[in-house]
Amino acid sequence: MKSLSFNTKRTIVGGALTFTLVCLANYWFGFNLFGSFDRKILVVSFAILGVVVLYVGPTVAEIREYRAKK
């Protein structure tokens, strides 16, 4: 299996974070984007964010290597 690049991993985590923030804003401000499933979608979005950060996100070693190159 081909390994993802550092920037691709960051982009995937950013997308999951954006989805979570949209769900949080929807719940908090009452935009009613998901109908009566606001709380359920919010919980699912946090679960997705956790899985993405844990399994797809860059490791601490990759982050340190990236910072060292700068």
Domain extent for 51: 6-69
Q: What is the pLDDT of residue 2?
A: 75
Q: Within a domain: residue 25? A: yes
pTM of the predicted model, to two decimals?
0.88
Half-sphere exposure of 34 (CA within 13 A, CB side): 18
Tell which residue, 1, 18, 12, 2, has the closest CA to residue 54. Answer: 12
Q: Within a domain: residue 1? A: no
Tell which residue, 66, 68, 49, 67, has the closest CA to residue 57. Answer: 49
In tens, the pLDDT along 27-39 reads: 999 999 999 999 9
Locate 19 and state its tokens: 């989805």
Number of domains, the chain: 1
